[in-house]
């Protein structure tokens, strides 16, 4: 997002402070933890929303959560305020719309990796169905599972940014093994950078042309000191794969978006 006005920045900081303070107070009241939203971050909110209007809608939604109200227990034993239940339903509705948009984007994608694309779409449909359930008719475990399937804009931004940064960093490592010219790698990265952030994972994960790099990332160590498996990473094969990607990446992107 472009730089916020001083007034909007002040409103953002005030809203985040009130929202997080409300969560802390509710935690002390012994409400069902899985019904509580994540604490907010001014930086994350600013990064996640593309314009002031969408950010304002999010702040208004957060303000509704901070309204007063007594706690109550549902028939399934979930304890929360009316504002908590309303907030969760709004998060569910926003997540459903986001998943529907992602599903629509995937419908027209052409790929040789049909099974993986189908799995991606099936996963979205399952999430949409589960989020359509009323949290007031669920027990605490089901409420937690529903929460885990919600996807706020800021959480989506963080998840996609982390995936993209990790992929680009590993691409550098991968290309270095293949002794690929840095300018060639940077050209490929610039092309990949054209993929909208919200579509980056789907494009990478559902096109077989990225399988070799994905396997390299999978074989990378997950903690310091862990050994990396290298049985399949011959420099010549990597260099050839990078060349093939450069030759086909424009078509891959065009067929995926």
- Give pLDDT tens digits for 210-220: 988 888 887 76
pLDDT tier, 20 (very low <50, low <70, confident <90, very high otherwise): very high
- Residue 128 pLDDT > 60: yes
Q: 150 is written with which tokens?
A: 């919600």
Given its phi and psi angles, is residue 148 left (phi above 0), alpha (psi -120 to 50 degrees) or beta?
Answer: alpha
Q: Are residues 10 and 118 in the same domain?
A: yes
Q: What is the 3-state secondary structure (H, E, C) of 13-56?
A: HHHHHHHHHHHHHHHHCCCCHHHCCCCCCHHHHHHHCCCHHHHH
Report if residue 234 sits inside a domain. yes
Report if residue 64 sits inside a domain. yes
Over residues 132-159, the pLDDT tens digits come to 999 999 999 999 999 999 988 888 889 8
Domain that holds residue 74: 6-147
Cβ partners under 8 Å of residue 104, min gap 6: none
Which of 121, 147, 173 represents a domain boundary (last residue)?
Answer: 147
- What DSSP state is assigned to residue 230? -
Q: Are residues 124 and 168 in the same domain?
A: no
Q: 96 is written with which tokens?
A: 């459903």
pLDDT of residue 229: 53
pLDDT of residue 69: 83
pTM: 0.78
Report if residue 116 sits inside a domain. yes
Number of domains into which the chain is organized: 2
Report if residue 248 sits inside a domain. yes
Q: Are residues 13 and 41 in the same domain?
A: yes
pLDDT of residue 72: 92
Asked if residues 119 and 216 have their Cβ atoms less than 8 Å apart, the reply is no
- Residue 202 pLDDT > 70: yes
Q: Are residues 194 and 139 in the same domain?
A: no
- Residue 226 pLDDT > 60: no
Asked if residues 36 and 143 have their Cβ atoms less than 8 Å apart, the reply is no
Report if residue 1 sits inside a domain. no
pLDDT of residue 22: 95
Q: Are residues 117 and 198 in the same domain?
A: no
- Residue 47 pLDDT > 80: yes
- State the average pLDDT for the chain: 89
């Amino acid at each position: 997002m472009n730089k916020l006005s001083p007034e909007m920045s002040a409103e953002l900081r005030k809203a985040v402070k009130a929202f997080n303070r409300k969560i802390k107070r509710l935690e002390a009241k012994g409400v069902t933890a899985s019904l509580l939203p994540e604490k907010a971050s001014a930086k994350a909110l600013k990064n996640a929303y593309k314009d002031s209007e969408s950010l304002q809608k999010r702040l208004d939604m957060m303000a509704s959560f901070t309204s007063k109200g007594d706690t109550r227990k549902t028939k399934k034993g979930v304890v929360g305020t009316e504002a908590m239940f309303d907030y969760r339903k709004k998060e569910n509705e926003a997540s459903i719309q986001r998943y529907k948009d992602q599903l629509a984007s995937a419908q027209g994608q052409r790929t040789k990796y049909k099974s993986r694309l189908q799995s991606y779409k099936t996963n979205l449909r399952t999430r949409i169905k589960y989020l359509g359930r009323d949290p007031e008719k669920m027990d605490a475990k089901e409420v937690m599972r529903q929460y885990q399937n919600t996807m706020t804009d800021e959480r989506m931004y963080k998840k996609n940014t982390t995936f993209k940064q990790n992929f680009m960093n590993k691409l550098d490592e991968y290309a270095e093994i293949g002794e690929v010219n840095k300018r060639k790698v940077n050209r490929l990265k610039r092309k990949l950078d054209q993929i909208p952030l919200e579509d980056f994972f789907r494009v990478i994960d559902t096109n077989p042309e990225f399988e070799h790099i994905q396997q390299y990332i999978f074989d990378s160590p997950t903690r310091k000191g862990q050994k990396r498996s290298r049985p399949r990473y011959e420099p010549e094969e990597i260099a050839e794969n990078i060349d093939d990607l450069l030759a086909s990446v424009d078509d891959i992107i065009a067929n995926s978006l």
